[in-house]
Structure 1
Amino acid sequence: MLVAMAGLPGTGKSTIGQVVASRLGLPVVPVDPIETAILQAGIATDQPTGLAAYLVAETLAERVITAGSGVLVDAVNAVAPAREQWVNLANRLGEPIRFIEVICSDPELHRSRIEGWRRSMPHIQLTWNAVEQSLEEYSEWSGDSAAVARITLDSVEPLGVNVERAVAFLAG
């Protein structure tokens, strides 16, 4: 199975994704460290490093799946083309796909997470203004990805509650 996370930075998607993947024995393919590596290699920030990172993640996810394992992809997946990428990969490989979307319904909590975040990837800087702009650009679920099974978790709920809901969703 291909599990694709979705949600803005700071919503808790990576934390939830890591715990869910650990519980299910799934490897995680995270996009942010891939983009960091691309930037560390000297590729200019005005280049499409985000797209490159998604394409590398897709290649890695495909390799993991064809080797016989499921995989969890940790990415923002804010726009339809990004989501469709995972739907197309699953269809191409004949694998089921599930999306786990994570939101934070409390804007002040979300902002405090972003402002207090100490990123391990210094090449990717994140500000609350950037997240607010991303929210404006976050597209509705449409096309093939709208028809795929998806759960939306709110990270104001305790981590354990969200993990249990995600695991139950993936098992169902």
Structure 2
Amino acid sequence: MISGLPGVGKTSVAEIAAARTASVHLSIDAVEEPILACGLQRGWQVGVAAYEAARAMAEPNLRLGRSVIIDAVNDSEDARLTWRAAAARTSSPIDFVHLVVADSQEHERRLSGRDRSLAYVGEPTWAEVQRRRADYAAWSDEVLEFDTAARTVDEVADALSARVGAR
């Protein structure tokens, strides 16, 4: 479970780690995009629907013995409970990974130049990311944290690939 604020590199790390480990990669933004494209209003309910849709796709893959890498902001206890429950229902281990960009100027720079071609999800403003940071729930789980300003995406993906491969 790769977590963190928008712009920290979750999807980049998840894509590389999934390719290296032959894992299933599920991105909440990629799930949310078609939900919003159907005309539903952006908000809490669409976010919950995207998490639940990703969970519903993850569980059968976990039952088949596949590793699944989810990338999501995952900023609340309710969101994290989704993944704990999926792991429990499928008797699968779970690792929470939290990506950060400790240098706020670098984080803002990354956001300002980002275009993921998600017409409905869009790109958050720096002010929106700051609000999410202020509301980000403290971790109650053991969490692996990586600063993607201090380590390359490949270095983080290598560390995660080694962990997945060790299972």
TM-score with structure 2 setting the length:
0.92
User: Unaligned 5+ residue runs, structure 2?
Assistant: none
Partner residue, 1:152: 145
Alpha-carbon distance in structure 2 between the residues aligned to 1:5 and 1:92: 20
- Residue 74 in 1 paired to residue 71 in 2? yes
Aligned pairs for 1:1-172 (under 5 A) are 4-46=1-43, 48-125=45-122, 126-142=124-140, 146=141, 148=142, 150-156=143-149, 157-170=151-164, 171=166
Alpha-carbon distance in structure 2 between the residues aligned to 1:25 and 1:159: 18
Give the superposition deviation at 1:65.
Answer: 1.5
Alpha-carbon distance in structure 2 between the residues aligned to 1:92 and 1:35: 24
SS of the residue corresponding to residue 28 of structure 1 reads strand
Alpha-carbon distance in structure 1 between the residues aligned to 2:85 and 2:138: 18
SS of the residue corresponding to residue 48 of structure 1 reads helix
CA-to-partner distance for each residue in 1:71-116, whole Å, 9 max, x for gaps?
A: 1111111111111210111011111111121111110110011111
Q: Which amino acid aligns with 1:107?
A: S
Give the superposition deviation at 1:118.
Answer: 0.9
TM-score with structure 1 setting the length:
0.89
Alpha-carbon distance in structure 1 between the residues aligned to 2:106 and 2:33: 26
Identity %: 30
Give the superposition deviation at 1:47.
Answer: 6.1
Count of aligned positions? 164
Q: 1:11 to 1:46 in 2, by over 3 A?
A: closer
SS of the residue corresponding to residue 106 of structure 2 reads helix
CA-to-partner distance for each residue in 1:93-151, whole Å, 9 max, x for gaps?
A: 11111112111111011001111111211112311111011100111012xxx1x4x31
Give the superposition deviation at 1:46.
Answer: 4.7
Alpha-carbon distance in structure 1 between the residues aligned to 2:154 and 2:50: 30
- Contact kept, 8 Å, 2:2 with 2:71, in 1: the verdict is yes
- Contact kept, 8 Å, 1:5 with 1:100, in 2: the verdict is yes
